[in-house]
Amino acid sequence: MYSVTEQEMIETETSPQNKEVLAIEVMGLTKRYGPNTVVNNLNLAIPQGSIFGFLGQNGAGKTTTIRMLLGLIRASSGRASILGHDTVTQRNQILPRVGAIVETPTFYPYLSGRENLKQLALIARVPFSRITEVLEQVELKERASDKVKTYSLGMKQRLGIAAALLNNPQVIFLDEPTNGLDPQGTVDMRNLILRLAQSGRTIFLSSHQLHEVEQLCSHVAIINRGKLIVQGSIQELLEGTTKTLMEVAPLSTAQRVLAQCGGQNIQETGLRSLQLEIDPQLVPDAVQALVGAGVRIYSVGQKKASLENYFLAVTGGEELDGEQSAGADTAEDQAA
Amino acid sequence: MLGLMRAEWMKVTRQGTTRILMGLLAGISVLFVVGLTMSVTATQPGNENLLLRQEAFSRLGFPGGVFTGIDIIRNIGFFIVAIFFSSVIGSEYGLDTWKNLLVRSNARGGFLAAKLLVTGLALLVVFIITVAIAQLVALGGHALISDTATQAGLTNQVISADQFFHNLWVQVVPLLLSYAVGATFAAMFTIITRSTVSGILLTVVWAILDTAVAYLVPSVSDFTLDKNIASLGKYLDSAASGTMPLWQNLGVFGAYFLIPMIVAIVIFRRRDMAGN
């Protein structure tokens, strides 16, 4: 787990070894609209071939960041590079190697799916033969001749992915790709993203669906109100969040013994339940000591914090997507 | 650029606005020519003027029907230009599709130039079809009332090919020039406001203001598009000369055509794409 400082970013940037393997680098990227700073001095380092989850609540600045990276809007300050090319001055070299869905995919409703892709193929100078390939990839070939206005949201999302894949990109930006999808659509989309990642592409996945990100991503960054809170691999981030849970009686004796055995942050969570942090290697000795002290042990288990809990903890347990997440306090404790 | 233009052509020819406007112009053409035909044969009091009936009868023959079609376009063409150009550009904002296009190619100016060129070409085709429909319906009307008209003493007037092309040149060129300016204003207003409706309204308001100033404010009327195009039209007709120097007519047209286009391209290239 690490928070990225500007200094660290500069070190990352100047290291030739890292430069070769980073798909996206963002340095001090800032976007202001009048007095409002929507993205504030953002630094990101995204390894090539990773599925990178870009997490934040609605309005945290995720889409604005993607728009800046793609050149749809201009940064107020800072800079970014994709595959080693500056996103402002070398956009010509970047665009042929990048695919993107920005927010909800939008198409011309009076054209068919295939015709919409033809539009983009003509602009990106991609041969029409590629259209059939990507339609097959997203399993939309059967409906390709139907007008887009007849498509369901899930089909539009898949067509959006097809559009993003049209130029066979090395880096794919997916902005909330499962937004509004039904459970089956969400599963299909998740499988599709995994298939894309298997081909070695770097996937930048912006989302507030934490469960989805946890299942898909190897690395994540969390932003809150435009500021980077933390970034790293999910494994690193969740390391140290494992808690040991015990059902024991009496609690007072158990707490005293566990403290002597190296237990920390011991908390009562029920009439005969404890939660503590302890090195897993010390658990057998602790159990033996508890038995020796006359403590009755009903169960011993471990609990790892989910990314959702971690997210809520580092963003201050604020409402996620308009709903108060249950157990936010516990999550905060767990991730602390 | 060719790819951009092919993509634009596909959109313009398939979108509903084009078909609705084409249908509207075709419908108006038919109604107008039917009315013209009835005015030739009607003999009720007030329609005894043979000269007027002769003029109407001539407009039903060939190539008189061509000028009937041009008259229709002259009357409503500017509104069609404003609606067409604003909707073609504004729909990209409305559908939020700029974000799909602009992540494919870095040439923002190219997107706009291709759009303006292809839309202009498509509109020219729409106008030509309108004139063709007017001519065809006029010929039908002419055939229907030919006997009645002859009995009333009306004659088929014949003009030479030279005269036809001269008239066509004199009538069409000023029209196309003013429409070209209308198109760039529609593009500029639509891009500034990111809205089709605002683009249409502002273009129409600008055109009304230009005409009003031409007639009501003599001190600046020489710099209005309306007056300069009218003067240019007279230069095109070899029988007359313009009311102002030709260089001024061309200069004013150039300024009205280029300034909005440059403003539109500069704003489009430099401004953030909000996407909505």
Cα separation of B54 and B60, whole Å?
10
Cβ <8 Å between B100 and A120? yes
**Residue A328 covered by a domain:** no
Is the predicted pLDDT of residue A4 greater than 60, yes or no? no
Is the predicted pLDDT of residue A116 greater than 90, yes or no? yes
Provide mean pLDDT across the span A86-103: 88
CA distances for A224 relative to A55, A109, A326, B274, angstroms? 9, 35, 19, 21
Same-domain check for residues A78 and A209: yes
The answer to which of A48-52, A286-290, A305-309, B164-168 has the lowest mean pLDDT is A305-309
CA distances for A160 relative to A60, A122, B6, B128, B202, angstroms? 23, 16, 21, 38, 35
Cα separation of A287 and A284, whole Å?
5
How confident is residue A14, by pLDDT bands cut at 50, 70 and 90? very low
Is the predicted pLDDT of residue A310 greater than 50, yes or no? yes
So what's the pLDDT on residue B96? Answer: 85
- Condensed to tens digits (0 to 9), the pLDDT of residues A153-201 reads 888 888 988 898 898 899 999 988 887 777 887 888 888 888 888 888 8
For residue A104, which residues of chain B lie inside 8 Å, CB to CB?
96
Same-domain check for residues A202 and A129: yes
How far does CA B157 lie from the centroid of its chain? 27
Mutate: best of A65, A111, A119, partner B, most B CBs <10 A:
A119
For residue A165, which residues of chain B lie inside 8 Å, CB to CB?
none
Cβ <8 Å between A111 and B95? no
For residue A108, which residues of chain B lie inside 8 Å, CB to CB?
11, 14-15, 95, 97
**Residue A310 covered by a domain:** no
- What share of chain B in percent tops pLDDT 90? 42
Same-domain check for residues A166 and A252: no
| Cβ-based burial of A321 (10 A; exposed 0-12, middle 13-18, buried ≥19) | exposed
Same-domain check for residues A78 and A143: yes
Q: Does A92 touch chain B (CB under 8 A)?
A: yes
So what's the pLDDT on residue A207? Answer: 83
3-state secondary structure of A23: strand
Is the predicted pLDDT of residue A267 greater than 80, yes or no? yes
Task: Sheet with A296-303: list strands edge to edge.
Answer: A264-268, A273-277, A243-249, A296-303
How confident is residue A139, by pLDDT bands cut at 50, 70 and 90? confident
Same-domain check for residues A208 and A94: yes
Instruction: Say which of A91, A109, A115 has its CB closest to residue B10.
Output: A115
**Residue A278 covered by a domain:** yes
How confident is residue B48, by pLDDT bands cut at 50, 70 and 90? low
**Residue B230 covered by a domain:** yes
**CATH number of the domain that residue A101 is part of:** 3.40.50.300
Cβ <8 Å between A71 and B95? no
Peptide bond before residue A250 is cis, with ω within 30 degrees of 0? yes
**Residue B77 covered by a domain:** yes
For residue B4, which residues of chain A lie inside 8 Å, CB to CB?
122-123
**Residue B103 covered by a domain:** yes
Identify the domain containing residue A134 by its residue range.
Answer: 6-237
- Condensed to tens digits (0 to 9), the pLDDT of residues B15-28 reads 888 999 999 999 99
So what's the pLDDT on residue A204? Answer: 93
What is the torsional sign of CA A18, A20, A22, A27?
positive
- Total tally of structural domains belonging to chain A: 2
Provide mean pLDDT across the span B152-163: 80
Please report the DSSP string for B1-64 in residue order.
Answer: -HHHHHHHHHHHHHSHHHHHHHHHHHHHHHHHHHHHHHHHH--STT---HHHHHHHHHTTSTTH
- Total tally of structural domains belonging to chain B: 1
Is the predicted pLDDT of residue B46 greater than 80, yes or no? no
- Condensed to tens digits (0 to 9), the pLDDT of residues A255-265 reads 899 888 888 88
Closest-CA distance, A233 to chain B, in angstroms, reads 28
For residue B87, which residues of chain A lie inside 8 Å, CB to CB?
none
Q: Does A109 touch chain B (CB under 8 A)?
A: yes
Closest-CA distance, A115 to chain B, in angstroms, reads 8
Same-domain check for residues A178 and A265: no
Q: Does A53 touch chain B (CB under 8 A)?
A: no
Same-domain check for residues A225 and A249: no
Cα separation of A300 and A283, whole Å?
9
The answer to which of A49-58, A62-71, B101-110 has the lowest mean pLDDT is B101-110
**Residue A102 covered by a domain:** yes
Contact of A39 with A64, CB cutoff 8 Å = yes
**Residue A34 covered by a domain:** yes
Inter-chain Cβ pairs, chain A and chain B, closer than 8 A: 82
For residue B96, which residues of chain A lie inside 8 Å, CB to CB?
103-104, 106
So what's the pLDDT on residue A93? Answer: 87
Cα separation of A262 and B28, whole Å?
91
**Residue A277 covered by a domain:** yes
Contact of A317 with A325, CB cutoff 8 Å = yes
So what's the pLDDT on residue B239? Answer: 60
Contact of A134 with A172, CB cutoff 8 Å = no
**Residue B276 covered by a domain:** no
| Cβ-based burial of A142 (10 A; exposed 0-12, middle 13-18, buried ≥19) | exposed
- Condensed to tens digits (0 to 9), the pLDDT of residues B85-142 reads 999 999 999 888 888 888 787 778 888 889 999 999 999 999 999 999 999 999 898 8
Q: Which residue of B has its CA nearest to A111?
A: B14
Q: Does the ipTM exceed 0.90?
A: no
How confident is residue A18, by pLDDT bands cut at 50, 70 and 90? very low
Residue with more model confidence, A275 or B50: A275
Cβ <8 Å between B103 and A92? no
**CATH number of the domain that residue A298 is part of:** 3.30.70
Q: Which residue of B has its CA nearest to A97?
A: B104
Please, what is the average pLDDT of chain A?
81
So what's the pLDDT on residue A43? Answer: 92
**Residue B144 covered by a domain:** yes
Same-domain check for residues A279 and A211: no
**Residue A332 covered by a domain:** no
Provide mean pLDDT across the span A277-305: 87
| Cβ-based burial of A272 (10 A; exposed 0-12, middle 13-18, buried ≥19) | middle
Cβ–Cβ contacts within 10 Å for residue A132, how many?
13
CA distances for B189 relative to B162, B204, B261, angstroms? 40, 11, 10
For residue A134, which residues of chain B lie inside 8 Å, CB to CB?
none
Instruction: Say which of B10, B100, B105 has its CB closest to residue A118.
Output: B10
H-only helix segments in A180-228: 183-198, 210-216
